Amino acid sequence: MDERNAAHRMLEDDIAAKVLGIRLQHAAGGEATLTMTVTAEMVNGHYLAHGGYLFAFADTAFAAACNSHGPVTVASGAEVSFITPAHVGDELTAVATERVRYGRNGIYDVTVYRNGHPDDVVLEFRGRSRTIER
C-alpha cells in the first residue's frame, strides 16, 4: 500500500465502507483503487447487486481519490451509468481517476469492473468534488 495519506485516514473511519467490506488497494495523487465482494445481503429482488450498493462502492473510490491530495473534499454531485449487472460472489474493482481540478472543485471518473477483467465493466461513475474547510 502507498504511504498513508488523507484518503487512508478517511477510510479508516468510514464505517459504511467497513460494513460493505470495501478494501483500499491504492490512493495517491488523485487516483484510487478499491475492491469489494458482492455478498448475498447486497442483492435485490432480481438477485442482482443492488444499484445503491454499487453506487456506494464507486462513491467510496471517488472519495479516496479526491481526498488523496490532503484537504477535506466532499462530493458536490455525481452520476452513474449501470452497464452490466453484478452477482453474489463477484469481486469488484473500482478505479478512480482525477480528470481535472480547478480552484476548490474537481471532476473524477470511476470505472467498476468485475473479477479482475478491466473489459468487464459493471458501471461508470462521474463525481464532482468540492474542497471544504473543516
Domain boundaries of the chain, sorted by first residue: 6-131
What residue has cell string 460494513? 19
**pTM score:** 0.94
**What is the structure's pLDDT at 134?**
63
- 57 falls in which pLDDT band (50, 70, 90)? very high
Could you read off the pLDDT of 71-93 as tens digits, one per residue?
899 999 999 999 999 999 999 99
CA-nearest of 75, 68, 86 to 126 is 75
| CB-count exposure of residue 106 (10 Å: 0-12, 13-18, 19+) | buried
- Quote the DSSP letter at residue 4: P
- Looking at the domain 6-131, which fold is it? Thiol Ester Dehydrase; Chain A (3.10.129)
